[in-house]
Amino acid sequence: MASEKTTLAGLPALKNEPLSNYTFTKTGGPADLLAFPESVEQVQTFVDYANENKVPLTVVGNASNLIVRDGGIRGLVIILTHMRSIKVEGNTVTADAGARIIDTSDAAGAAGLSGLEFAAGIPGSVGGAVFMNAGAYDGEIKDCVSRINVISRSGQMHTYENAGMQFAYRHSVVQETGEIVLSASFDLTPGDKHAIRAKMDDLNARRAAKQPLELPSCGSVFQRPKGHYVGPMIQEAGLQGHIIGGAQISMKHAGFIVNINHATATDYVDMIHYVQRHIKAKFDVELHPEVRIIGAEPDESAVVHHDGAFD
């Protein structure tokens, strides 16, 4: 079924739009309704629309650490990547939720502000990075974010200070509350622009050398279990290079699953379960996905009427 244009509460949207057009894995079924708010006010409008019409609402950032199942997503999906303003004021960088964390790191570096270098190669959005307390190279979002503006699913605005976010490894409180991150402010430390840029370039070179950036993937698939490293365990279990459908455990980094031949989301999910079973059997270690897996199985489809109602 081809996608088509429509409007919701006077704002443009798409119907039956394949989410594979937006995910980094290049997989995923259609969104019944898909919209790209460009401001906080438009996010509010879509939240109100979903509530008034009893339509499920799903929020997506840059879709870099995300698997959307092949049945797609029922209801309304909003992708925040059209909200991407980044402002530098003094030692503080404030970015919209849809801004790339890479671009936010670059803006900080260009302003001679240190503290976001670790994020120079993380492909997610600011909202996604805050949502899951993204981290790399011994840095995490919790180390530098100071204030987070959110909207609740009922449409109420709220500002969190760092402590209120209950940050932990790949966790923040908004994972429980369902609140939507609108923007975040990072309090950083003045430093030498050239030294900051050199550190970012070094981290990006290390990332490019170790990670399969040349192929579609969802990034690091599993959380790191205490006392273990995921990639070496997968290698020791003899799983590296294993293929299911069009998905493969990367030969470059065993902690990644790459799309080598028109993989489906089902291929990805089946591979995740395959790895979990084998690592549990060999090491008695439970692997938990770092990647978010959302959406419906292929047989859980729905028909959207022009008024937004569902069958």
Domains in the chain with CATH codes: 4-82 (3.30.43.10), 86-209 (3.30.465.10), 213-294 (3.90.78.10)
Distance CA 205, CA 279 (A): 30
Per-residue confidence (pLDDT) for residue 301, from 0 to 100: 52
Angle between helices 101-110 and 193-210 (to 10 degrees): 150
Model confidence, pTM? 0.93
Catalytic-labelled residue, pool 114, 172, 220, 250: 220
Catalytic-labelled residue, pool 117, 125, 170, 179: 170
Per-residue confidence (pLDDT) for residue 299, from 0 to 100: 75
Annotated catalytic residue 64: no
Residues 12-50 pLDDT 10s: 999 999 999 999 999 999 999 999 999 999 999 999 999
Annotated catalytic residue 39: no
Residues 233-271 pLDDT 10s: 999 999 999 999 999 999 999 999 999 999 999 999 999
Provide the pLDDT confidence category of residue 111 given band limits of 50, 70 and 90. very high
Residue 300 has pLDDT above 70, yes or no: no
Mean pLDDT of the chain: 95
**Mean pLDDT, residues 265-289:** 98
**Mean pLDDT, residues 60-71:** 97
Residue 304 has pLDDT above 50, yes or no: no
Annotated catalytic residue 290: yes
Taken in order 165, 166, 167, 171, the sign of the CA dihedral is negative
Residue 309 has pLDDT above 60, yes or no: no
Per-residue DSSP letters for 128-193?
A: HHHHTT-EETTEEGGGTEEEEEEE-TTS-EEEEEGGGG--BTTB-THHHH-PEEEEEEEE-EE--H
Per-residue confidence (pLDDT) for residue 202, from 0 to 100: 97
Per-residue confidence (pLDDT) for residue 3, from 0 to 100: 77
- Number of Cβ within a 10 Å radius of residue 157: 12
Residue 306 has pLDDT above 50, yes or no: no
Among 40-44, 180-184, 219-223, 302-306, where is mean pLDDT lowest? Answer: 302-306
Distance CA 202, CA 188 (A): 20
